[in-house]
Structure 1
Amino acid sequence: MTNSDVESSFPLRTLGRTGLQVSALCVGCAPLGDMPETFAYSVGEEQALETVRAIFRSPITFVDTAASYGDGESERRIGIVLKELGGVPGGYVLATKADRDLHTSDFSGAQMRRSVERSLKLLGLDVLPLVYLHDPEHITFEAAMAPGGPVEVLQSLKEEGLIKHLGVAGGPIDLMSRFVETNIFEAAISHNRYTLLDTEADAFWDLCRQHGVGTVNAAPYGSGILAKGPKNYPRYQYEQASEAYLARAFKFEEACERYGVPLAAVALQFSLRDPRIDSTVIGMSRAERVNETVRLSQVSIPSELWNEIEAIRQA
């Protein structure tokens, strides 16, 4: 597939003030780090490599990983394929995240430099197009912003040319909002907080827009329950789902079945159809999931079903 084929296959969007052109779908590579403690399944190396190869042949041109995914394993596996390809193919954007030390919990400025340098080595790149400060809930806002701290060091790495654009990715919305309001970050990822079951991040997207920050919504399936169904995967945000979430997920599933529409298509398009969201991250662990996800994004969903979905959400 040529770069022109890629561009014509999926509309591109500008990621906030980064100026980066990204697809509305983004491949999340956390599962490729082989993290059974998080996802309740394992991903072997050859399966992961075949998935990465499929990604870089697909119309999904935005790829997301992190230093913490498998403690470098996701990046290492991506790096193997990038070496085969001679680098990141034209038209694709690869983002990663700078992380605390998973063994010591060190979240210092020095650790941010070590994290970025390891990412460059594992991915086999000289420059990282987009790096997020990852999971800052593991320290305080004040510690993250302190002189010589994580944010200042990441800004220095940007000035040195090792990072092109700087973002922030995390959980708690109040904390994420404080980082966006600094106007330091050019993009932001919120995960598991804007789904059919939980729209806590609703006002966050408006805040990001006000500050010109690119918006990336991760995990619209709530880690799997809205893709595999509540009976097959009764977990939300990597833990056992609450009874309230399970009950609502079953109602969503029943409504979708009546219209012959996959629940996963509705859950995915709930994020894709929001004009405030630049890109939506879907974690993938198998090569066939890439094309399956593209197809789900293109399923025709009748307005009557959307009305029923909204009624269930608001009940």
Structure 2
Amino acid sequence: MSGRSEAARPFGATGLQVPPITIGTARWRDGTGRVARAAHTDALLTSLTDADQPFVLDTANSYGNSEQRIGDFYASRGGVPGHALIQTKADRDFATGDFSGARMRQSLQESCDRLRLPALPMVYIHDPENTSWDQAMAADGPVGALIEAREEGLIEHLGLSGGTVDVMERYVRTGHFEALVTHMRWTLVDRSADALLSAAHERGMGIMNAAPYGGGLLAQYPAATSRYAYGEAAPEVAAAADSIGRACADHDIPIAAAALQFSARDDRIDSTIVGVLEQNDWNATSELLRVAVPQSLWDTVEAVLPPASLWQR
């Protein structure tokens, strides 16, 4: 991997160790489209667990049955091993929009029950842009409830995971959070999260960057989708991705390798979250870290960067 070791490294000031790639489990849930089969996720977990190397599973209360799958697997193995970190996210009620402190408590209990854990090692407040600042910081609001849960030992570490960068940075500056997950906003074609990453890094927070492929646009060349993040890519964004893809092809490099390494090579980012459905996905992702990417390709990436007005924000 260009400029960074593949070994586990400190996760900010949390005292935890994380590898450069974190396994995202969002698509382990039941649903339509390509989802992970239980037999495949069990085989992946068996391989990771038996390898006795640090690994991280990133899940959430809202990720369908992914927490349940993880909990069931480790219940059958006698518990979570010391080299595995399971991190989850406390979610609002998607039916009612409830983002109260009481809902956070309920979300934590649901996650504990599914994961079969008496306490949660790392919990992130999930997408706080979906409530107002005043409601979030109120005495009976979600932030206070999660801080109390940490003080009680129900959660060991408290993080922040969400989208809109100015909202996220405001939460970072409170000093309440030990870790940050940002997504879709630090990629080959989008630099929205630059100031956010620096603010978190300066405070000693652990930092994870998710969705380095932008939802698929940067996963392969020619692109299999015209969408970036949660909507249709702007023409300039699509053109930039195409230019990068052509440059990668000229160097016989998968665009996915450049997309992944763009995140992994950043000294502020401790780990990059990538969706993994089965062992083959994990092997392929690991190989992408080992592809040699020349400086000339990084120069091309910077030369075709879309204007800031088109970034996700």
Report the TM-score when normalising by structure 1.
0.90
Q: Which amino acid aligns with 1:200?
A: S
Any idea what SS the aligned residue of 2:157 has?
strand
Of 190, 211, 225, which aligns to 2:217? 225
Unaligned stretches of 5+ in structure 2? 308-313
Alpha-carbon deviation of 1:232?
1.2
Structure with more of its chain in helix, by fraction: 1
CA distance in 2, matches of 1:136, 1:54: 35
Of 302, 307, 313, which aligns to 2:299? 307
Q: Which amino acid aligns with 2:279?
A: A
Alpha-carbon deviation of 1:55?
4.3
Q: Which amino acid aligns with 1:23?
A: P
1:15 is matched with which residue? 11
Q: Percent identity?
A: 43
Alpha carbons of 1:92 and 1:10: their partners in 2 closer, same or farther (altered >3 Å)?
A: farther
- Deviations along 1:5-60, one digit per CA (max 9) or x if unpaired, are xxxx9412211121111111111111112354xxx534443344334444445656
Alpha carbons of 1:238 and 1:52: their partners in 2 closer, same or farther (altered >3 Å)?
A: farther
- Deviations along 1:237-284, one digit per CA (max 9) or x if unpaired, are 133322222111111110000000110000000011110111111111
Q: Judge conservation of contact 1:25–1:60 (CA < 8 Å) in 2.
A: no
2:190 is matched with which residue? 198
Of 172, 178, 186, which aligns to 1:186? 178
CA distance in 2, matches of 1:94, 1:151: 21
Q: Judge conservation of contact 2:221–2:254 (CA < 8 Å) in 1.
A: no
Of 194, 201, 214, which aligns to 1:209? 201
Unaligned stretches of 5+ in structure 1? 1-8
Q: Judge conservation of contact 1:35–1:69 (CA < 8 Å) in 2.
A: no
- Deviations along 1:43-101, one digit per CA (max 9) or x if unpaired, are 4433443344444456561221100112xx11111112112222222212111000011
CA distance in 2, matches of 1:31, 1:228: 19
Alpha carbons of 1:50 and 1:240: their partners in 2 closer, same or farther (altered >3 Å)?
A: farther
- Size of the aligned set, in residue pairs, is 302
Whether 1:31 aligns to 2:24 is no
Any idea what SS the aligned residue of 1:165 has?
strand
Q: Which moved more, 1:41-50 or 1:246-255?
A: 41-50
Alpha-carbon deviation of 1:309?
2.2
Q: Judge conservation of contact 2:213–2:259 (CA < 8 Å) in 1.
A: yes
Q: Which moved more, 1:170-179 or 1:51-60?
A: 51-60
Q: Judge conservation of contact 1:131–1:163 (CA < 8 Å) in 2.
A: yes
Q: Judge conservation of contact 1:205–1:276 (CA < 8 Å) in 2.
A: yes
1:149 is matched with which residue? 141
Alpha carbons of 1:102 and 1:52: their partners in 2 closer, same or farther (altered >3 Å)?
A: farther
Q: Judge conservation of contact 1:33–1:74 (CA < 8 Å) in 2.
A: yes
Q: Judge conservation of contact 1:230–1:249 (CA < 8 Å) in 2.
A: no
1:4 is matched with which residue? none
Any idea what SS the aligned residue of 2:283 has?
helix
Q: Judge conservation of contact 1:55–1:287 (CA < 8 Å) in 2.
A: no
Report the TM-score when normalising by structure 2.
0.91
Q: Judge conservation of contact 2:8–2:54 (CA < 8 Å) in 1.
A: no
CA distance in 2, matches of 1:314, 1:137: 25
Q: Which amino acid aligns with 1:125?
A: L
Alpha-carbon RMSD across the aligned residues, in angstroms, is 1.8
2:58 is matched with which residue? 64
Any idea what SS the aligned residue of 2:218 has?
helix
Any idea what SS the aligned residue of 2:117 has?
coil
Whether 1:124 aligns to 2:116 is yes
